[in-house]
Chains A and B, each alone.
Chain A
Amino acid sequence: MVLTGRAALLAGAGVVFVALVMPSWAGVGLVVAVVLVVCVVDLLLAGSPRRLQFSRDGDNAVRLGEQAVVQLLVTNPGRRVRGWLRDAWPPSAGVQDPPHKLDLPSGERRRLVTHLVPTRRGDRHAVRVTVRAFGPMGFAGRQGSHEVPWTVRALPPFNSRKHLPSRLARLRELDGRTALLVRGQGTEFDSLQDYVPGDDVRSIDWRATARRGNVVLRTWRPERDRQVVIVIDSGRLSAGRVGDAPRLDHAMDAALLLAALATRAGDRVSLLACDSAVRADVRRPAPQDVLPSFVNALANVEAELVQTDFRIVVSQVLERLGQRSLVVLLTGLDPAVIEESLLPVIGPLLRRHVVVLASVADPRLTELESARTDLPEVYAAASAARTRLDRDRLTATLTRAGVTVVDEDPDHIAPALADTYLALKKAGRL
């Protein structure tokens, strides 16, 4: 049961009535009786929210920061329902609409539209639909709720896709589709063609030249159909916020750019998100499915406040890779964690594969280190310098061990990782 402002107004008028006309118990009783009778009659004449029928339709997934549209179809088999309807979602689903005004005559149906702009990644479930139906006089009404399930999945935003065209152009250069022939170690033999003055004489195939009688050149192209495994650490190293998002989100962004690029380069990309257990696992999807399957798998991965078990990472990666492959590990450069739990177990991975470790650097450290106007800031600068020195030392250790380290700001980590991939490909190290 709900009352409205009109009922309150009536009761307020009752106070005036008692004060001016009937200052007695009878007056008070009369006012109470009138208000009660009006409200009860109105309540009995109101339509029933419980008898309404609902169904939903609309978007199932939306990229974070964009708008999803979910429709709610309300059917009224009973008496006319006039009032308000609230389509309740969790706060981070970002409902844009105030409660809907509803006027639904008997036997009709209406389509109400709810706009959602999710503020966090992951699945957002509709909570309930609450309807408040007022009586014909508008003094009192009934209220009831319905469970109308629907889920909108907020996918990782993939902001770094703006870097994709420039990297694809460089990939084409590399690929030989623009007539650039570079011989690198580990590149694959492509074809033989006639020598033109200006070509690299080191590329002349003397055996074929002898066979044919004119000078023949070997051409090369980068390898294709290589395996790339992207491992995202979803443990506590990824929980820390850099800027306004956790490291994990920046890592996902970089992973998506790399996946898009590597797919276009003809490589097979797999994804693994892991902390103390595997959180997402996508194995070699078809090229056209790479991005959709990755964003879907990553949508519900949140950073857990546990220590990542790198033994799981190593065994999972080794299990799915036969040939020499690229393993990209997106984690944090924390000396204690990396030295104690990653370095002891990474040996088997390094022997067979190329390992890249990418970490999101915190621009806040640079800020702390450069601001030195008062004593607390000097101590902060010293502390930040110590952190950076530790990271540099760790980077050196990892590089010596054969790991390629990419340590960049959130804004630059995705392109930097893509560039590292291109450089590795160009050098024929895959």
Chain B
Amino acid sequence: MSTPLGRSAGESWRVLRTPLLVTGLIVLAAIVILIATSARTSGPFSPDSTDSDGARALAALLENHGVDVHSTETLDDAVQPGEGKALIIGPAGSLGRPDLERIAQARWSHLVLIRPGSRALEILAPGVQQTGDVLSSRSREAQCDLPAAVRAGTVTVSGPTYSAPSAAVACYGDGINNTVVRLEVGDRIVDVVGTPTSFTNAQLADDGNAALALNLIGTHQDLTWYLPQFESTDTGTADSGSAPLIPPDVRYIGWALAFAVLVVAIWRGRRLGPVVAERLPVIVHAAETTEGRARLYRRSRARDRAAAALRESALGQLHEAHGIPRRADPSAVVATVAARTGRDPVMLYELLYGLPPLSDAALMSLSHELDVLTQEVRKP
């Protein structure tokens, strides 16, 4: 008598296992491929990025020349002991003062600062200052006696410029504003480079860009390529001073809350069987055509038709009430009605057989008078 609907648990499992297995394999394969091919870093000037503003070409070039490039986005890699090693600090992010001091204390043999901010200059390259001038992009001579720059010849240079202390060597500029500055801080060589675009994948092949990059950066066997991230500078930044805005516990409460919301959603979301749908008949009111015609009359201001219908209707009632024959002459009708109601025959003729009303007001009054007339007839 009764038939169970839907699938039992076993049937569901048998039906679903193949699609589930296939989906699982696809997801697994996607994850494996993603891990295998994923770059360790990304963004502008990243040694793993093959975009036009990345620096994969330079990293590959350095590796061809026997330089070991470690790309990283974490500060810890940048503050390890760095004797005999080189460190590039990329342009992204804004390192806090304590972070920069830790880098300064890490005793790197060679530091390359790509478009550094004033705080980085103050700590890592004392004496060098950002000037505010920006060089337009074009080929320039080195105009200095830095061997690395002289051997590279002309280089396409653009970006911010820096003023150098007298002890430093400054290249690619007008003597006051320079885009490459090399200075020695203790036993460490510090290069300040204001033109990161010269070393990107897009421009590395122009002029002597590649040569300059190799000469400047490829000084040590071991190169750490550090791209500061915003989040690596946010946490533990001592100079912000205040406590974090959101207490860390809230995160766990949020997850627990999310789980509770999920449970509530499942609780409220399941119906006791589906909604039952039903075909319903169309509802058409029988008077709809009449009402539609009334609107048409009104829109087209068909006062003549409206008046004719009202008059014909009133005449019909008068015929019936006074026993006037259907085909009676208008004058006979008027005479009969006038005799019965005591109205003026001329007015009555005008009312029943007159011209169509010329205004809405006239139609209204015509309708009213006909109404009164038929009411009078009906009463006695």
Contact = CB atoms under 8 A, between A and B. Distances in A.
Interface stretch (B26-34, B219-227, B259-267): B259-267
Contacts of A323: none
Contacts of A171: none
B291 A368 contact: yes
Interface stretch (B110-118, B142-150, B361-369): B361-369
Given A19-B249, A365-B287, A392-B316, A147 B281 contact: no
Interface string B246-283: 00010011011101101110110010111011101111
Given A380-B294, A381-B310, A146 B4 contact: yes
B351 to A, nearest CB: 15
Contact of B249 (A23, A148, A302): A23
Contacts of B260: 8, 11-12, 14-15
A428 B265 CA distance: 76
Interface string B30-44: 000000000000000
Contacts of A381: 310, 367
Contact of A7 (B267, B290, B364): B267
Contact of B313 (A31, A145, A302, A385): A385
B281 to A, nearest CB: 6
Contacts of B310: 378, 381-382, 385
A29 to B, nearest CB: 9
B1 A5 contact: no
Contacts of B307: 382
A53 interface: yes
Contacts of B5: 128, 144-147
A242 B287 CA distance: 8
Contact of B2 (A3, A25, A146): A146
A396 B363 CA distance: 29
Contacts, number: 200
Given A130-B272, A369-B313, A383-B291, A14 B259 contact: yes
A379 B290 contact: no
B272 A132 contact: yes
A133 to B, nearest CB: 12
Contacts of B8: 50
Contacts of B262: 11
A383 B293 CA distance: 6
Nearest to A236: B284
B379 to A, nearest CB: 15
B2 A388 contact: no
A241 to B, nearest CB: 5
A109 interface: no
Given A88-B276, A241-B286, A368-B291, A8 B264 contact: yes
A305 interface: yes
Interface string B287-317: 1111101110110000001110110110010
Nearest to A85: B272
Interface in B158-182: none
Interface in A357-391: 362, 364-365, 368-369, 372, 374-376, 378-389
A303 interface: yes
Contacts of A389: 309, 312-313, 316
Given A92-B278, A372-B367, A379-B294, A143 B256 contact: no
B371 interface: yes
B14 interface: no
B360 A11 contact: no
B244 interface: no
Interface residues of B, number: 58
Nearest to A5: B267
A314 interface: no
Nearest to B261: A11
A181 B371 CA distance: 48
A301 to B, nearest CB: 12
Nearest to A364: B287
The interface centre, meaning the residue of B263, B313, B367 with most chain A CB atoms within 10 A of its CB, is B263
Contacts of B291: 368, 380, 383
Nearest to A380: B294
Contacts of A303: 281
Given A25-B252, A31-B259, A369-B313, A148 B281 contact: no
B252 A91 contact: no
A383 B264 contact: no
B272 A91 contact: no
A15 B363 contact: no
Contacts of B380: none
A99 B272 contact: yes
Interface in A14-57: 14-15, 17-19, 22-25, 27-28, 31-32, 35, 50, 52-56
B2 A32 contact: no
Interface in B1-37: 1-6, 8
Contacts of A399: none
Interface in A68-122: 84, 86, 88-92, 99, 120
Given A7-B267, A378-B367, A241 B259 contact: no
A53 B1 CA distance: 8
A369 to B, nearest CB: 7
A246 interface: yes
Contact of A8 (B257, B263, B280): B263
B283 A241 contact: yes
Contacts of B297: 379, 382-383
A315 interface: no
Nearest to B314: A385
Contact of B272 (A53, A84, A92): A84
Given A368-B294, A379-B295, 15 more contacts: A4-B267, A8-B263, A8-B267, A14-B260, A31-B259, A130-B272, A147-B3, A378-B310, A378-B363, A378-B367, A379-B298, A381-B367, A382-B367, A385-B313, A386-B305
Give 7 closest A-B pairs by Cβ, nearest first.
A130-B273, A240-B286, A382-B306, A54-B2, A23-B249, A385-B313, A383-B294
16 contacts: A1-B270, A3-B266, A15-B260, A17-B256, A18-B253, A28-B256, A86-B272, A92-B280, A147-B2, A241-B286, A368-B290, A379-B295, A383-B293, A383-B306, A385-B310, A387-B293
Interface of B: 1-6, 8, 249, 252-253, 255-257, 259-260, 262-264, 266-267, 270, 272-274, 276-278, 280-291, 293-295, 297-298, 305-307, 309-310, 312-313, 316, 360, 363-364, 367-368, 371
